[in-house]
Structure 1
């Protein structure tokens, strides 16, 4: 029995399905959850819910949810604890309770579908393919193999997610992404794809990117910068993407304070540097971090800097110093930098 059939068989055993997105879900996670819900409906599950925690702050993510009318509900831990028989719990685009999600460690999972590096995944059904560029690729494969109805909304969601996750097939794309895109293309809504690809940008996001540009420091081909304090968490990956286009730069790491945490976003096409491993090694003792060799992220609770939180300027200075020292040491860089 192949993966699609095994997944479908588990779904036919359930009366309800709860799909938990990772914190601050992106289009790949949202589209995968949306598609899994459609597959569950085809398997006879009438009660389905998609839960998320954190924020949907990136303008593309907000447009994605609004234009596709994806029904999301805020995460509540009671929903996943002490579930009755027949209640299935699924993760898409992440895989471990407590890692980039608010699900308590030790919670029993029924379904995990993911493409991010991870170890120790435990669920009744696991499809974990690190070699793929997007989780949505896996779900598109299931929709096709199970002959689930593919309307324009579902096709558009999956196609946009694959394009966004792979930066229009320039990052991590495999033959599977191209095959999935070919299958989805004729069913997708071209006008809706255009709207999703060109959402408006908030002034706060632009300000955060401008701050990262001003604060940039480089050593060799590595650029490290920060956005200070911002409410726009998704400005960090946008700043990292922009700074990665700077001539002579191969690796970019951007950090900033969002709420009560320090967030990171990293980009690196340099084959000599695995930024997921860099962030994990630098910060796993104080937070959670990791990802792919060319794209990674992380989060550190501000609790470790609690004594400085009464003075924002002092806090920013201390955070910048500590983070930069850790990154410089892990990357083996000289302390001499240039703007």
Structure 2
């Protein structure tokens, strides 16, 4: 049961809400207290000491004090004489009680509501933009070597465009190598076009009506697009360091995954969902939040709950457990053989790397090592050092630190998850071994002193 002292508007509202679920006794002044269904009402003629009040015989789950109607000099101390371990909550300063700041709660509720309105406005701007371009063409670009979040987001946008009579195709640079990514693409029969040559890219961006970026916001940074390419629409959840140029930019870093953002957009569109699209987006959310354990927020939970009505659990499991290639196992062996641990940080360079997507798998695996706070795995591929970084430390922001050290989109990401592609030329290196060694030195200089012991 709950015991409430006071009968102001807030006390009455809380009592009415609690009364639908629990036994509640409300003690207040007769001149202001109201009858409430399901709530025991005790009307006092005036303020008085606790000893004079009709208190319950059993210990309450919590005591809530909304008004100063207890005359004892130390009301909380007196309450402890009755119920030593019962929490006491109050909306005003009272010695020994847990203060619930109405101002803070109100501000938080207003901020949350305003953010919700901002998200809705952003979604409606994109929908209005697309609806006004019926029978047009669109190119949806993922970043290089797209992960499930990028692939699912692009797929969701393609589905929306097609529903609005826009012919949309998905493009990416790099490779799709991770076993999970391949399983997802094959199961969903995703129609993707890999771009390699500059003239291919120029031909596409000059021929379509709408250019859409998903899961990135800067042309030329970890994507095959030329730096001069200006998109019409951007959908991304990554931290924004500089203003972006686009007709409509829907960039919200409170989302842990761009798939959540796209799901929110589809919710507002009232489109008829399919199992394929819902399963893809749910998988995008799950992988980008490391199984809902990393930066998973209320907006992501809402998106996932909505998608759950159509998503296939069996297919999600199928995506998660594809066969692991021998190339990945080889990269694991090299990483385990080469790794070093310095002040709670693992550095794992990988020579002769054949599967770049093995880096993220190795980083996630090593982060679970006892006493380890951060992991950096890196190897060479096509005259670039590919980096995957993870941390559990609250004192490090990987994305910001890496983007400041390796600017212009060479590296970046989130607080606890980041990565990069750093050219050999930036590292003043000509060979693979030299570039790996220089990268190792950069990382130790940047993060060695920030590690948590």
Query: How high is the TM-score relative to the length of structure 1?
Result: 0.91
Partner of 1:157: 280
8 Å CA contact 2:254–2:299 kept in 1: the answer is: no
Q: 1:28 aligns with which of 113, 131, 149?
A: 149
Aligned equivalents of 2:299 and 2:244: distance in 1?
23
Query: How high is the TM-score relative to the length of structure 2?
Result: 0.69
Extract unaligned runs of 5+ from structure 1.
310-314, 335-339
Partner of 2:210: 88
Query: For the pair shown, which has the larger CA radius of gyration, 1 or 2?
Result: 2
Partner of 1:312: none
Q: Give the match's secondary structure for 1:181.
A: helix
Given the alignment of the two structures, is residue 107 of structure 1 paired with residue 229 of structure 2, yes or no?
Answer: yes
Task: Map 1:1-339 to 2 at 5 A.
Answer: 2-14=121-133, 15-45=136-166, 47-75=167-195, 76-83=200-207, 87-118=209-240, 119-284=242-407, 288-303=410-425, 308-309=430-431, 315-316=432-433, 318-333=434-449
Aligned equivalents of 1:8 and 1:72: distance in 2?
23
Aligned equivalents of 1:190 and 1:104: distance in 2?
39
Q: Give the match's secondary structure for 1:229.
A: coil
Aligned equivalents of 2:263 and 2:238: distance in 1?
17
Aligned equivalents of 1:129 and 1:79: distance in 2?
31
Aligned equivalents of 1:33 and 1:322: distance in 2?
36
Cα 1:79–1:9 change in 2 (3 A) is farther
Q: How many residues were matched structurally?
A: 324
How far residue 304 of structure 1 moved from its aligned partner, in angstroms, is 5.3
Aligned equivalents of 1:280 and 1:88: distance in 2?
29
Aligned equivalents of 1:81 and 1:4: distance in 2?
24
Aligned equivalents of 1:276 and 1:242: distance in 2?
20
Partner of 1:337: none
Extract unaligned runs of 5+ from structure 2.
1-119
8 Å CA contact 2:429–2:435 kept in 1: the answer is: no
Aligned equivalents of 1:324 and 1:258: distance in 2?
16
Moved more, 73-82 or 217-226: 73-82
Q: Give the match's secondary structure for 2:244.
A: coil
Q: CA RMSD in A?
A: 1.8
